[in-house]
Amino acid sequence: GKRAVGKIKDQLKAVSEEVHDAKSERLLGALEMTLSGSEQAAVRLQELAARLKGFMRVDEAEVKLADLHEGLDNTLAMLAAELQGKGIEVQKLYADDLPELFSQPAEINQVFMHLLQNSIDAVEEKTGKIAIQTGADPNYITIAIKDNGHGLEPEAYAGLFELGFSEGNERVKMGMGLPLSRQIITRHGGRLELTGSLEEGTTATILLPLEN
């Protein structure tokens, strides 16, 4: 009922205030607009609360084994309203039995958020497509996020990681997102690269080393 919904909203707000995150603020705003007070809404809010806590990993700043598929799914849940609003098709090409990775899950989830938000901003409504493919070999886990949005000349992608490049550029509207994402991946011993073309869109590829 309405009392249960209100309690869940308070829990979500508490998480949002603790992490001071703009994405969670927008999420809460969207929930305020759509909340019906029904039992179904309460169940949906509980699911979103769990996803939000999983995405933020407030209590897990330390390095630990993490499920990257769970991180991707939680990030997609945070972006669900934007994906649905633009009618974007998301294809998850997840590898079976992807190894867990020693990492800082909250930081890796931030990278997923930056890259997926960048793809959402770049694709057209109703025709936008984003494919997420994961894989592993004995040394690395690979996560590739490919979209069919506004691409660039191949040689221009390296410049997207330069501070200040994004100002006025339609491909990137995220300010510091890409440089910070590369810094996070580099601190984890990995690599983050952007490739693509005007015709084919853009692919962001993350390589993260596995412990041997």
What percent of the chain has a predicted confidence (pLDDT) above 90?
55
Provide the CA 176 distance to its chain's centre, in angstroms.
15
pLDDT tens column, 70-118 = 999 999 999 999 999 999 999 999 999 999 999 999 999 999 999 999 9
Contacts of 90 (CB under 8 A, 6+ apart): 76, 83, 129, 130, 131, 132
In whole angstroms, what is the distance from residue 199 CA to residue 173 CA? 20
Give the residue with greater pLDDT, 188 vs 163: 188
Confidence of residue 177 (pLDDT cuts 50, 70, 90): confident
What does the pLDDT read at residue 58? 47
Give the largest Cα separation in the chain, rounded: 56
